[in-house]
Amino acid sequence: MTGYTSIKVENKDLSAYKELENVYGVYPTRKKALNQLESIVKTYQLCPALIGLEKTNRQCFRYQLGLCKGACAGKESAESYNQRVETALERSKLETWPYKHAVEVQISDTKTMIVDQWIVKYLVDYSVDIVKTPLENLFDIDTYKILRSYLKTKPVMSPYVL
């Protein structure tokens, strides 16, 4: 239905993804992602057909059971439904990178890392005349969680231009 939010479970490398704030969760397997969607659908009474868990060209089965509020039947406005989807997904949504540029983050007295879009780009060692070691530039959910927590409590050293 037009105007209603739908969800797509995709296997993507997020390293080159420029709009991480549009990513609503990172899971190790497709099955875990689908299980999470199923849980969200049940908890928030979302439509499994609109979310993409049920294939139908009519009202979803859960609507017939009273477990869906009826977006698929035109009984709930797109605005109301989409707001509930956003609320349901908010906890798993990736945060927007809080800077306009890469930043330098202190690791130790002599080592830092250059981070951009939650991806560690380089390790820098000042103890040996500034050796900048490039990394694989891969998005990693564990690194994201650690950096997000760290950057909330510690200031970055400086903006860093790559």
Q: Hey, what amino acid is at 158?
A: S
Angle at 10 between CA 69 and CA 24, to 5 degrees: 55
pTM of the model: 0.68
**Spatial contact of 54 and 16, defined as CB atoms under 8 Å apart:** no
Question: CA nearest 9: which of 119, 78, 89?
Answer: 89
117-158: pLDDT as tens digits: 888 988 888 888 777 777 877 888 888 889 988 888 876 666
Q: Which of 145, 146, 104 is nearest to 121 (CA)?
A: 104
pLDDT surpassing 60 at residue 19: yes
Please tell me the distance from the alpha carbon of residue 144 to that of residue 141, in angstroms, as a whole number: 5
Adjacency order of strands within the sheet including 119-125: 131-134, 119-125, 111-116, 102-106, 158-160
Burial of 50 (0-12, 13-18, 19+ CB in 10 A): buried
Among 10-14, 78-82, 115-119, 124-128, whose mean pLDDT is lowest?
Answer: 10-14
pLDDT tens-place string over residues 87-102: 999 888 888 888 888 8
Q: Average of pLDDT values for 37-57?
A: 91
Q: How far apart are CA 50 and CA 130, in angstroms?
A: 53
Q: Quickly count: other Cβ atoms within 10 Å of residue 117's Cβ.
A: 19
pLDDT score of 160: 55
What is the per-residue pLDDT for 162? Answer: 46
Average pLDDT value over all residues in the chain? 86
**pLDDT reading at 109 higher than 70:** yes
Q: Which residue type occupies 137? A: N
- In this prediction, residues 96-122 reach a mean pLDDT of 88
Number of H helices and E strands in the chain, helices first, is: 5, 5
